Structure 1
Amino acid sequence: MKKLKMSILALVVTLLVPSSTFASSMETLGSGEWDYLGYDYFRTQSKIFYSGGGDFMICLDSSSPKGYYYLFEEDPFNADDKVKSGVYFDKGSADDFYNVGNLPHCHIFKDINAWVDGSNNQAEFYVKRNNDTGEALVGAYD
C-alpha cells in the first residue's frame, strides 16, 4: 500500500511541474517588454494577432520564403487597412529584418496605437504576402 501511495504521489508531482512551468512562461510582461502572442504557418495570410497598441513585432523563421511581408489590420465592417507597406525579408543584410535580443529575423512596427479599436480595445493584425512561393512561419509579439 505504501508503494502505491508513493507511486501516485510521484505521478502527481510529475504532472504538476510541467504545467506550472508552462504557465509561468505564458505570463504577460509589463510595459516595455515583449509579450509573445503566438505563431502561425501561412502561405498568403496569417491568422489574426491581437495587440493593445504601442509597438508590434513579427519574427520570421529562416525557412520562410524571401519577399515582401505586409501588416494589415482586420476590419469586419470595412476593407482591411494596410498598416505598413511591405517589409522585405531575404535572410540577409539587404532586408528589413534584424535581430532583437535573441530573436532573429524580426521587424518592429512602431506606434501602432491608431489601429486599436472596437469594444475589445485591441488591434487585430495579420501578416500578408502577395505571392504563394511556400509556407512562412511568423511569430508575433506585442
Structure 2
Amino acid sequence: MLPDLPLEPVPPGTPGSRVADAAPELQTKARAFASALLGGVEMETGEPVLLHADGACRILSAIGADAQSQAAAYLSQAATQLAKPEEQLTKAFGRELAVLAMESRKLVDVFRVARGVSEQETAQEGKAAIEDMWRRS
C-alpha cells in the first residue's frame, strides 16, 4: 500500500523524498522541460497534464523508483508536444532516458485505447504502438 501522498506538487529535492537523495537535478531538469511544453495543457478529465506528471513522479518516488523513471514521468507527457520527440529528448537527456520516456508514452497510449477515451487519431497511434510492441517481443 502506498503512503499518503500530499495533494499539492512536491518540489524536486524536497527533504525526505527519494528524489532528494537520488538525483534531484535530473527531476528538476525534466520537470522544467515538461513545464515549458505543458503549461495549460489538460487531460481529457480536465486535469492539468503537468499536475498529473507531478503525481506520477510522487508515486514513483514512494515506491522507490530511480531518478530516471521519475524523470520519464515528465518526459513521456512532454513528448506529446514535440515534433520529433525521441530525437529531441535524446538531445536534451540522452538516449537511455529518451527511450524510457517514449516506451512509457506507448504504454499510456495503450491504456487510453483500452479505456476507449481517446480520439480517433490517438486510437490509431495507440494501435500502432501495440503493433510495434508485439513486433519487438
Sort the TM-score into its range (normalised by shorter chain): under 0.3
Q: Which has the larger radius of gyration?
A: 1
Q: TM-score, normalised by structure 1?
A: 0.22
Q: Which has the higher contact order (CA 8 A, sep 6+)?
A: 1
More helix by share: 2
Q: TM-score, normalised by structure 2?
A: 0.23
